[in-house]
Structure formats: C-alpha cells, structure tokens
Structure 1
Amino acid sequence: MTVKAAKSHPSRKRLVVFVVYPDIVLLDLVGPLQVFSHAPDPVMQGNGYECVVVSVSGGLIKTNTVVSIPSKPIDSVLDREIHTLIVVGGDGAIPGRRDAALISAINRLAEQAYRVCSVCSGALVLAAAGWLDGRRAVTHWDDFQMLTEEFPHVKTELDPIFIKDGNVWTSAGITAGIDMALAIVSEDLGRSSAMVVARSMVAQMVRSGGQSQFSPALVRQASDGAGRFEALHLWMADHLAAPLPVETLAAQAGMSARNFARAYANATGTTPAKAVEAMRIERAQDLLETTTKSLKQISTLCGFGDEDRMRRAFLRTLHVSPAEYRSNFQV
C-alpha cells in the first residue's frame, strides 16, 4: 500500500486526523495533538495544522484515565484531503486489530492521506490494515512480540523511538509520539517551528528516530529495583571526570572490592566497569547534543581520558563515532 503524493497549499492548514477507539492511552493522543495544535507555520504566520479527532461512530471515547475524549465520526473527514493520519495506541489496539469496522475505516482514510502514522501500540492496528507490510516499524517494547509474531511481513525493530519508512511513520511508547510529531513538524515547517513547540512544551529537542526508547538511566533504575546502589549512581554521575576503578566505587559503597563487584553485578546485571562506561557515554551524548565543546574537552569531562578512548566506547556501544553522533543529534 502506498500513500498519496503531497499537494502544496501554502495558504491552507494541513489536516491532521487522529483515529481513536475505546481504551486508548491518553498521552498517545494529547502529546502529538499538543505539538500539531501549536506548530507555527512561517509562511502562513499562524498555526500550520488543523487537528481533528475521529472514531468509527463519533462521540465520547473512553481512555485509560478518568478523561473521555470527544470525537467526530470518521465519515466526517472522508471527503477531505488528509495530510497526516495518526492511529493512536493503547490497550484498545489489541481488540482493535480485529475490529473489521475500524480496520476498514482506517484503510479508507489512509488511502487519501499523504502521511500515515501510528503511536505506540497503534502499530498493531496499522499492521492489521496492511499498511506496515514490507516496511520497517516500531512499537512500544511491551507490544514488540505481538507485532512480530502476528505480522511477519512487518520489519519490526525494537530499539528506535520512531521510524520513518517512506511516508509511513511509527513510534515507540507514549512520549515517543511527541518526538515523532516534532520530527514531522520539522519536516513540514522547518526545524525552527519544531523548536518553538518543543520549548513551549519543555520537551527535549529534537530526539532523532535513531535514538533508543530505552534510557540508560531508566535501565539502571529498573535493574536495581531495590535501589541498593541508587546513592552510588548519583555519586558516580557527579564524579565521572575522575578515575573510577572498582576499589573507589567499593569504598564509596562501604564494601570490600570483591564483595562489591559481586553484589553490584547481582543487583544490576552488569559489571561496575560497564556501568561507569555507560554513564560516561550517556554524559558525552548530552554534551555532544547540547554544547559546542570540542571532542577533547568532552572526553576529559566525561572521564575517558582522551578522544580515542571515547571514540572506541561510542563505536562499541552506539556503532557511531562521537563526531557522527554530534552531526546527527546536535541541537
């Protein structure tokens, strides 16, 4: 299935249609909706998008919160030129992928859209409609197995926060929908317009789809579920420029080096040395994205010692050099 070619209407707002159904994740909808509702068009000197929320029959749609969302019937936009169609995610996507009326309606909308997208588990619905066959796609990590097993013709990927394959976009869980929406605004209206929205939302600007949906800091916290080494991790983050051998970390934790190494690996699933390297890479990524400091300065501030060690660590972990990473992600 292919999407239509875009038409240029510099004096007309681009129509963004959000498809909802019972039990959507509220943030899957309102995050991207907020982005498109306030994206300035430098040509029109006003908002660049018109947003409409639709469901099969219209009316109030239950979300995964106490808030229900009003929607218009899908038929109300069938005769309009759709610039971006977004299928929202949520637990309702599981029964939704087998809802013949919903799938049929999405196909009718997608056939008249320039761009087709999904947020989170909305990829299950898009896949059921056939729009992801032969394409790279991503979804929330919790739905990855279902998408992979039920739709073998989809080239499912686990890591990225969003993927653009032609004019079909898919995003990972929840807040990744905001990243995808910002990237779409950047493509449509320019990077400056996306930055205006990101700043107003106090959002990180602008995460590329190549970045991972798994935050290293969050992975550490999840692995150390009991929080045994939480204080140590905070201390490590404040002392990355200094040498951090296992003996130093053990002393900070009040343990012998041998007992510390064993206890740390049992609690976090990784070695102290790998944890230090991961934190240094994470800090270097932030500095590469947000500052103009030289690679030598960054390698020193992050404790790598020299550029070559930082480069080897990046290639081993991220499969790109620090210079390539900066080129891709610097704000």
Structure 2
Amino acid sequence: MAEQHAEDRTGAAPRPVPVAIGRRPEPVHDVAVYAFPGMAPFELGVVVEVFGLARPELAGLLAAPWYGLKVCADRPGTPLEAVGGFALTARHGLDELAAADTVVVPGVPNPFGGVSPDLVEALRTAHGRGARIVSICSGAFAPAAAGLLDGREATTHWRYAELLQQRYPAVRVDPDVLYVDNGDVLTSAGSAAGIDLCLHLVRRDHGAKVANAVARRFVVAPHRDGGQAQFVEAAVRPVEEEDDGIALSMRWALDHLSSPLTISQLARAARMSDRSYLRHFTARTGTSPMRWVVTQRIATSLALLESPEGTVEEIAAAVGFESAATFRHHFGRVMRTSPTAYRRSFGRGVA
C-alpha cells in the first residue's frame, strides 16, 4: 500500500495522518479549479468528481486526508453561463486560486483569443509559491501565456495543437500524447484525457491502490495506453469522381489492402506513370502513397482488434502486413500504443 505522510515541521519522523470514516477530514492539499463564462461543463465536472467528493470508500487506504476543492472565477458570485443552457456560480476568486496547492485550468473561453491577464497573474503567483499547475484541453493556453511552459513539452486537444505551437513557439507541443507531466506543470489533451491526468495526480499523491479505487468509482480504466491518435477517426478520403485517377487508385487500394501493394500497381490503377502518380498523390493528400496505405491498413485493423475473433498475427495478415512484427511497428507509430493494448482497452468480449 502506498503511504502518504504529514510533514512534521519539527524535523521528527513523518507520521501517518488518521482518516475519519464517513466524513471529510480537514484538507491539507487545496485544489482550485478555474471556471469561466461559456465553459464546457465536462472538464470542470471531471475535476469536481475526482477532487471534490468525500470518499469514505478510501478509509483504510489513505495515509493522508483527501483534497479540498474550490471553484474559482474572475468574478466570484457572478453567474457563469455554461454550454448546455445553464449557469453556475463560483464562490471563490482568483486570490484563492493563487493560494491553492494545485491549480487546474480546464479550458479557456476562446483559444483563438487572449487569456485573462488576471488568470495569468494568478498562475504566476501560484507557481512562484510552489503550487502545481494543471491544464485540461484548451486550458494549456493559460500556463503557456504565463510563460510556465517555455522550453518544456506540453499537450492540448489535437484541434488546438498547431495554434498553441504557433502562438507560443518556446513550448514543445506534442499533439499525440494524452498528458505531459513536467512535475510542477502538467497538461492534458481534451475531455476524457482530463480524467487520465487527474487519476495520474491521485496516483502521484496517494499511490496506485487509491488511484485504482477512484477509477473504479469512475468506471474507467485506471491507466490508458497510447495517445490521442487512437481517438481521432481515421479518415479514408472519399472517392467521389469516377474520372479522378488518384481517387480511383485509392478506391482500388482499399479493395486490395490484404494484398501486397506497390507504387506501380497504384499508378496503373490511376492510369499514370509512377513518377507522375507520386507527384500528384503527394500534392493531393500531403503524404506518400505507401504511408497512406499503411494508415488505411491500421484503420482497417481497428475493427478487427475490437472483435474477439483472430490473433494479432491473423489480423496483421488480413490487413496486408507481411508479419506481425511489421504490424506492431506501424501500429505503434500511428496509434502510439500496441495492438494488444488497443484490444485490451477497446475490445468487445476480449479478456
């Protein structure tokens, strides 16, 4: 069992903090979450669910009291309209956010606009005091605006990754991962990746057993492999024009994915020379023909992996890879996880 101890300011050996069963003990780690007009409630709800609930089910597992949560806003007491046609009111202001031990920014009002100067200042103050700064989804724009991500790796929702990189070039943006832990500043991708990051924080603070118990109540996996790529629908370019050579070759390739494919075969299907085909395909799609073929093979394999039928070796052959090793290599590159891990997470009826 992972243990968390209270710090003894006298220098004596640390001692466990007792946890009262059935009631919330006095918190020793304050979490503040930022609320704003126009917010999507899911990300805020994730933070409230993880850090704001009393958890009598954790009695016996905790060596330190659970978190205390404050919902904070630029204007406390002012109703904040949320997506979905309802409003909420935050009781606490940014002064209390700046004084918290962990600060969570679950988003910003407009990633394409600026970040509240008051929020930026509060984050700098909190970080300067030693607080942990956490962002979910578009919330990464806030610590980036505060300069807290300069020279560091970070992530955000894949829709905003390019914008974040352009606006803050000193940040190393990774659009593929679910979250990035820099120790004192942590960022996550969109929506459900916020659950992953919050559970990661619980795991850091209280150990795996506690994080697993929280995940069980959430009815989610305590840890997910892979990155955002597995949740972005793999797009097969629509084939609309019968006389479009590139489109015809793509249709032909999709019908023959299980067979070995070459540039010459694709070029013949497009009624072009190899050289002309390569040039036109790259201009049309932004990628090479064979890289596109690999991506389509991976996309086709997903439904097979989600079924309990077939081994990884059989699925590799069914979608045209010459070996299971080649399949695993390309699957890992595209999906940032392994075929087995993907099947374990998404398989229907797969043990």
**TM-score for the superposition, normalised by structure 1:** 0.66
Q: For 1:79-100, what per-residue CA distance to the aligned partner results, in whole angstroms no more than 9, with x for missing partners?
A: 9652x31012133455552x33
CA 1:298–1:176: 2 relative to 1, 3 Å: same
Contact 2:123 2:146 in 1 (8 A): yes
SS in structure 1 at match of 2:103:
strand
Of the candidates 175, 190, 193, which is equivalent to residue 213 of structure 2? Answer: 193
266-275 or 124-133, which deviates more: 266-275
Contact 1:182 1:198 in 2 (8 A): no
Matched, 1:34 2:34: no
Q: For 1:108-131, what per-residue CA distance to the aligned partner results, in whole angstroms no more than 9, with x for missing partners?
A: 334446421111222222122222
Shift of 1:181: 2.1
Q: Percent identity?
A: 24
What amino acid is the match of 1:212?
Answer: Q
Count residues in correspondence.
304
Of the candidates 179, 182, 189, which is equivalent to residue 196 of structure 2? Answer: 179
Aligned to 1:22: 37
Matched, 1:71 2:93: no
Counterpart mapping for 1:1-331 below 5 A: 11=19, 13=27, 14-37=29-52, 44=59, 48-58=66-76, 59-74=78-93, 77=96, 82=101, 84-92=102-110, 95=113, 97=115, 99-112=116-129, 114-187=131-204, 188-190=206-208, 191-199=211-219, 203=220, 206-208=223-225, 211-213=227-229, 215-218=231-234, 220=235, 223-224=237-238, 258=270, 277-278=294-295, 280-281=297-298, 296=313, 299=316, 304=321, 306-314=323-331, 317-318=333-334, 322=338
Higher Rg: 2
Inter-partner Cα distance in structure 2 for 1:128 and 1:321: 31
Inter-partner Cα distance in structure 1 for 2:311 and 2:60: 38
Where does structure 1 lack aligned partners over 5 or more consecutive residues?
1-5, 251-255
Q: For 1:188-209, what per-residue CA distance to the aligned partner results, in whole angstroms no more than 9, with x for missing partners?
A: 442523531442xxx566334x
CA 1:282–1:192: 2 relative to 1, 3 Å: farther
- Over aligned residue pairs, what C-alpha RMSD do you find? 5.1
Shift of 1:257: 5.5
Shift of 1:28: 2.8
Aligned to 1:253: none
**TM-score for the superposition, normalised by structure 2:** 0.62
Contact 1:314 1:320 in 2 (8 A): yes
186-195 or 128-137, which deviates more: 186-195
Contact 1:161 1:213 in 2 (8 A): no
